[in-house]
Amino acid sequence: MEDKEIVLFSRARLAKSFFKRLRGLMGIRGLSEGECLVITPCSSIHTFFMKFDIDVAFVDKDLRVLKIVEDLRPGKLVMPVKGAYSVIEADSRFSSMKDLEVGSKLAIINK
């Protein structure tokens, strides 16, 4: 896998508390272009009561991509991913996750 630097998202929402992790993206109409939700700790998700399709990346504690799910429709369930520590969710309409591969190493840069 070739090393390359790409900006996937310019803004991230963080869901660490029990309530924020439980709520996730339920009840909102979508995320803006360049925006994602990071749910941690998390190894499985559902899209019940959501209003839009999402792209999802499951990552380990080192931010290495373990699994990618594209265009996940509302009302679906993704079973636990072994080794996953966090999940990154983005609106499928704007997602840059199509540039990811399993095994990619992500970095978070605060600006």
What does the DSSP 8-state code read for residue 81? P
Q: What is the pTM of this model?
A: 0.92
Residue 105 belongs to a domain: no
Element (H, E) at 72: strand 65-72
Count structural domains, the chain: 1
Residue 35 belongs to a domain: yes
Domain range spanning residue 73?
11-98
Q: What is the CATH number for 94?
A: 2.60.120.1140
Residue 64 belongs to a domain: yes
Residue 107 belongs to a domain: no
pLDDT tens string, the chain, 111 residues long: the values are: 566 777 788 899 999 999 999 999 998 999 999 999 999 999 999 999 999 999 999 999 999 999 999 999 999 999 999 999 999 999 999 877 878 899 999 988 877
CB 53 within 8 A of CB 71: yes
